[in-house]
Amino acid sequence: MAPKSNTNSTNNITRKGLSKKESEIITDLSEKHFKIITLADIQRESSATYGTSKSIASKLVRKNWLTRLKRGTYLINPLSAGKEPAYTEHEFIIASSLVSPYYIGYMSALNYYGFTEQTPFTIFMASTIRKGEMKIHGVPYRVIQMSEKNFFGTTTIAIENTKVNISTPAKTIADCLDKPQYAGGILEISKALDSAKDRIDMEDVLAALIKMRSGAGIKRFYYLIDLLSVSINIKTRKLLEINITSGFSKLDPLASKKGTFSRKYRLILNIPEKQLVGDGET
């Protein structure tokens, strides 16, 4: 399946001239189809010391031939003719070098799988590492930190011959039910679940939510599959019912606390039902 990312970054980059050595390094690495490089790559191509390689990298960043992604890791800006080349690179490739471990998730994964028509401007990633939001060539990259026990359910896809980690379709839905704020809210999740219901096994979604111990996610899942008339077998429904925790959770954490209290689902129904079915019109 082709990626359904938001459009590739297209910021203009004003660049300065290169020394002969710098030009040789950039040209050699680009001819070898390197897009993201490390100091070790520069050191190997230049036959320089580590310290000199750091200095070369710093100069190339200042001249806008490289973009620093993280310490010791850089993106080669394109070799298009002219001083202001249009930058194009798939955001998932950039994301794959920003933090480790990681996987593309939440709204970004929903978009990739075609479960939502919304094109997210922010690239969402999951990791066990805490890292602040980054902006690279105008595109925000947001890392959602999760515990190691919740960091599972991934697969590998190929983007322009680069391997990228992404949540599986079932784990994507589970993650979004657990944290709707990173998926555009419960309305988008309702649409996504309706789109995915014939393409993924709902038992896998429930199994992921149970493994995550996401009480609120399980409640939202229970409510939405009934609302959307999603078919599940008796065994799955029984498992769903016995995993409903006490206390009330908000159906949509982005919405007001005001709403109807549902004892069956243990939810505060703070979004009108008519917004969650059909085309979402009020």
Evaluate the CA torsion angle 183, 188, 194, 196 in order and state its sign.
negative
pTM to 2 decimals?
0.79
Full residue range of the structural domain in which residue 260 is found: 92-275
Cα–Cα–Cα angle for 235, 238, 242, nearest 5°?
140
Q: Greater confidence, 57 or 266? A: 266
Report the alpha-carbon distance of residue 158 to residue 161 in Å, rounded: 5
The pLDDT, as a whole number, for residue 257 is 85
Here the CATH number for the domain that contains residue 45 is 1.10.10
Whether 13 is covered by a domain: the verdict is: no
Q: Which residue has the tokens 């990298």?
A: 57
**18 has pLDDT over 70:** yes
Whether 231 is covered by a domain: the verdict is: yes
Judge if 25 and 159 occupy the same domain. Answer: no
Report the alpha-carbon distance of residue 270 to residue 181 in Å, rounded: 14
**Count of the separate structural domains present in the chain:** 2
Whether 280 is covered by a domain: the verdict is: no
Rg (CA), the chain: 22
Judge if 221 and 167 occupy the same domain. Answer: yes
Judge if 72 and 102 occupy the same domain. Answer: no
Report the alpha-carbon distance of residue 243 to residue 188 in Å, rounded: 24
The pLDDT, as a whole number, for residue 8 is 46
Judge if 43 and 162 occupy the same domain. Answer: no
Judge if 25 and 138 occupy the same domain. Answer: no
The pLDDT, as a whole number, for residue 132 is 87
Whether 86 is covered by a domain: the verdict is: no
**Tokens found for residue 267:** 């939810």
Domain end position, chosen among 7, 41, 76: 76
**Tokens found for residue 107:** 């709204």
Judge if 33 and 60 occupy the same domain. Answer: yes
Judge if 109 and 220 occupy the same domain. Answer: yes
Residue 166 CA, distance from chain mean position: 7
Residue-wise pLDDT tens digits, 233-261: 999 999 999 999 999 999 999 898 889 99
Judge if 62 and 151 occupy the same domain. Answer: no
Residue-wise pLDDT tens digits, 59-96: 898 888 888 888 888 888 866 534 444 445 689 999 99
**135 has pLDDT over 50:** yes
Judge if 33 and 138 occupy the same domain. Answer: no
Of these ranges, 15-19, 206-210, 270-274, the one predicted with the greatest mean pLDDT is 206-210
User: What's the per-residue H, E or C state across 192-254?
Assistant: HHHHHCCCCCHHHHHHHHHHHCCHHHHHHHHHHHHHCCCCCCHHHHHHHHHCCCCCCEECCCC
**175 has pLDDT over 80:** yes
**4 has pLDDT over 80:** no
Judge if 42 and 105 occupy the same domain. Answer: no
Domain end position, chosen among 9, 43, 76: 76
**33 has pLDDT over 90:** no
Evaluate the CA torsion angle 253, 255, 257, 260 in order and state its sign.
negative
Judge if 59 and 122 occupy the same domain. Answer: no
Q: Within the chain, how many helices (H) and strands (E) appear?
A: 10, 12
Judge if 229 and 121 occupy the same domain. Answer: yes
Report the alpha-carbon distance of residue 15 to residue 84 in Å, rounded: 6
Whether 112 is covered by a domain: the verdict is: yes
Contact 207, 238 (CB under 8 A): no
Residue-wise pLDDT tens digits, 181-198: 999 999 999 999 999 999
Bridge partners of 103, per DSSP, are 126
Mean pLDDT, residues 104-125 taken together: 93
